Amino acid sequence: MNFDDTPQEAAFRETARKWVAANAPKEFEQELSKSSLGRIRLAHHDIVDVGKAWQKKKFEGNWACLHWPKEYGGRGATPIERVIWQQEEGVYGKLTQPFQIGEGMCGPTVMAFGSEDAKRRHLPKLASGEEIWCQLFSEPSAGSDVAGLRTRAEKKGDNWVVNGQKIWTSGAHYSDYGLLIARTDPNVPKHKGLTMFFLDMKSPGVEVRPIKQANGMQEFNEVYFTDVVISDSQRLGAVGEGWSVSLTTLMNERMSIGSRLATGVPEMFEFCSNLMLEDGLAIDDPAVRSKLASWAVKSSGLKYTSYRAISALSKGDRPGPENSIGKLVSGMMLQDIATYAMDLQGAAGVLTGADEETVQGQFQQMLLSSPSMRIAGGTDEILRNIIAERVLGLPGDIRVDKDVPYNKIPTKGR
């Protein structure tokens, strides 16, 4: 048992480290190392512009989408090399946020189901950051039950005509392409009538509107489709096979290992170490210590769980299912930590101004943003179902709509 690289891994790390040291945009290092929670912002620059510049540099240095095959813009790297790269890229990895959906989900789907032409046309530009992709899956009436989606695609000659609405689309306003799942046959059960496409986000009839979220920010979009025409050559997989294509996309999302999720623990530890209560420092209070310790061991537990997965990759094995616990644990923890940090501030905990003496509204912002951590990318409940069914082998839920044609499924509770 050790944390050492193999000689090959060490050599790869050295190459990566040297390249990052020589090429990274160091002027943003400090700012990037500070913002650990939620989406990244830069004070005086657009994250998309800075991200594109970094992505382009990486692409030219052969460090973009490095687990992809070389002919599509990648490096043909092994999974463990990808993890090592992420470690060495460090805080600059945050600049890749606008490209993560493309690299992690859209690209792999195009790679698995696209024509050779489509792959050669789109993947290198995705890898170089020249074109940004978004994912158009969720709908107002189809979140956890995404197979219940309503957006229609109807065949007209060699084209498809799309009408409907998507929601929670990150980056739709700056994306060039989108991966779209739509209903092509409402007369069959819901999973069977779906088809996957990709489309140009500048197509006539596509309208992107920002959503004002519960935390007051605008980070996601709604996307409306009105008679949007898509060529049949932009279909991914067979007609009616959209659900199984989407599983490839989602599986790739869950394969990303080593991306460390924010837990709030370091911030909370520092906060309690400095906060003076009536009887002394918060960290000297037994109740505070007990809570801090419980959170600290969850955070270290997640860290070493990912180390176990990395070790499996290093040996060339597939990581076990342990990694599925990450978001479930960290999402709840963020919310609990934020609530408790405010509790410790007493009545002043309600204040959210950046000039407040305690922590400039850091935990208040965490409190308001944390509900999304427990919903986005699989709700806590869906994640528990996944662990129960795929890891523990418990039966799937009874699906009352399983064999019912989509257009016969009730759409209102009362």
Partner 1 sequence: MNFDFSDDQKQLRDQARKFLTEKCSPKAVRVVLDGKAPYDKELWKGLAEMGFLGVAIPEDFGGAGAGHLELCVIAEEMGRANAPVPFSSTVYLAAEALLIAGSDAQKKKWLPAIASGEAIGTLALFEGKGNPSPKNVKLTAANGVLNGVKKPVADGAIADFAVVAARTGSSGRDGDVSLFLVDLKAGGAEVKSLTNLDPTRGQAEITFRDCKAEPLGATGEGWSILTQVLDRAAVLCAFEQVGGSDRALEMGRDYALDRIAFGRQIGSFQAVKHMLADMYVSATLARSNSYYGAWALSTNAGELPEAAAAARISATQAFQHCAKNNIQVHGGMGFTWEFDCHMYYRRANAMALGLGSLTYWEDQLIDRMRKKNAA
Structure tokens at 205: 């009839």
* 253 catalytic residue (yes or no): yes
Distance CA 162, CA 182 (A): 8
Q: Nearer to partner 1 by C-beta: 222 or 322? A: 322
3-state secondary structure of 238: coil
DSSP code per residue over 11-71? HHHHHHHHHHHHHS-GGGHHHHHH--SSS---SSS-HHHHHHHHHHHHHHTT-SSTTS-GG
Q: Nearer to partner 1 by C-beta: 5 or 219? A: 5
**Count of other CB atoms within 10 angstroms of residue 28:** 20
Q: How far is the CB of 86 from partner 1 (least distance, A)?
A: 13
Q: Nearer to partner 1 by C-beta: 21 or 293? A: 293
Among 9, 253, 322, 356, which one carries the catalytic annotation?
Answer: 253
Distance CA 216, CA 236 (A): 36
Structure tokens at 162: 């799309």
Binding site for partner 1 (CB under 8 A): 1-5, 9, 269, 273, 283, 286, 289-290, 292-294, 296-298, 300-305, 307-308, 310-312, 314-315, 322, 325, 328-329, 381, 383-385, 387-389, 391-398
Q: Nearer to partner 1 by C-beta: 204 or 413? A: 413
3-state secondary structure of 405: strand
Per-residue DSSP letter, 388: I
Residues across the chain? 414
For residue 200, the cross-strand partners are 177
Q: Nearer to partner 1 by C-beta: 48 or 282? A: 282
Q: How far is the CB of 265 from partner 1 (least distance, A)?
A: 10
Task: Decide: 177 and 133 in contact? Cβ < 8 Å.
Answer: yes
Distance CA 213, CA 97 (A): 19
Distance CA 53, CA 181 (A): 30
Residues in CB range of 34: below 8 A, 6 or more apart: none
Task: Decide: 123 and 142 in contact? Cβ < 8 Å.
Answer: no
Is the torsion defined by CA of 86, 173, 119, 181 positive or negative? Answer: positive
Name the burial class of residue 105, with classes exposed (0-12), middle (13-18) and buried (19+) by CB atoms within 10 angstroms of its CB: buried
Distance CA 31, CA 40 (A): 10
Positions annotated as catalytic residues are 253
